[in-house]
């Protein structure tokens, strides 16, 4: 499973990259606005600090303007992935951009039919809002399972990336369902990567036992 970080915090990106687990960075209009930077400056900063894919979202409602914004984002870097909400107009934009070989992440997905349409339109990634779906519907996990099953059944190449994930339990659910990727907030990323207490306890025992080992020529 690909691990993405949902942030504009350069320090968090660098720390995650040093661990060797980070695949990509996701942003959205809210994250970009909170950064206090112009979008193109923010993207250039992230692209310079990180060598993987970075997403940025269009902010138009009509397909024609979405396409123009998507093309402009794609010109900034080949590593930019254009995020487009799955509306009727959004699907037109997804299809048009995908025909130009511009990678698109279909976002704000809440229903299996949206994921099917996005895959059919050519989206490289499809981003269901996992926790919102599960919190709004007791059958939320079944809806997510249906999305993955439809993609697999009809053999679309789109990848599913779990977005808007609020708990480690939902991370486990996405792994079980076969999601290809997940994007996490800084808080949840840190929580999910916390050292396991049993691992810490085991390491402490090894270090203690090592002190009683026979004399050695190694530097430790």
> 61 an active-site residue?
no
Distance CA 82, CA 123 (A): 10
Question: Which residue is catalytic, options 48, 68, 78, 83?
Answer: 83
What is the set of active-site residues? Answer: 83
């Amino acid at each position: 499973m690909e691990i993405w970080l949902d942030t504009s915090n350069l320090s968090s990106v660098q720390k995650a990259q040093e661990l060797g687990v980070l695949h990509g960075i996701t942003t959205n209009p809210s994250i970009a606005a909170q950064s206090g930077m112009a979008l193109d400056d923010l993207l250039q900063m992230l692209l310079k600090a990180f060598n993987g894919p970075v997403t940025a979202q269009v902010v138009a409602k009509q397909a024609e303007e979405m396409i123009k914004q998507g093309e402009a984002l794609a010109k900034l870097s080949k590593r930019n992935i254009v995020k487009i909400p799955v509306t009727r107009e959004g699907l037109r934009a997804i299809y048009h951009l995908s025909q130009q070989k511009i990678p698109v992440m279909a976002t704000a997905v809440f229903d299996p039919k949206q994921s099917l349409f996005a895959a059919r339109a050519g989206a490289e990634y499809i981003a269901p809002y996992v926790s919102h779906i599960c919190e709004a519907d007791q059958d939320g996990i079944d809806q997510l399972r249906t999305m993955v099953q439809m993609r697999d059944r009809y053999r679309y190449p789109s990848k599913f990336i779990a977005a808007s994930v609020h708990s480690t339990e939902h991370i486990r659910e996405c792994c079980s369902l076969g999601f290809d990727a997940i994007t996490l907030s800084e808080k949840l990323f840190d929580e999910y990567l916390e050292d396991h207490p049993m691992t810490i306890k085991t390491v402490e025992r090894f270090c203690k036992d090592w002190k009683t080992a026979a004399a050695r020529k190694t530097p430790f």
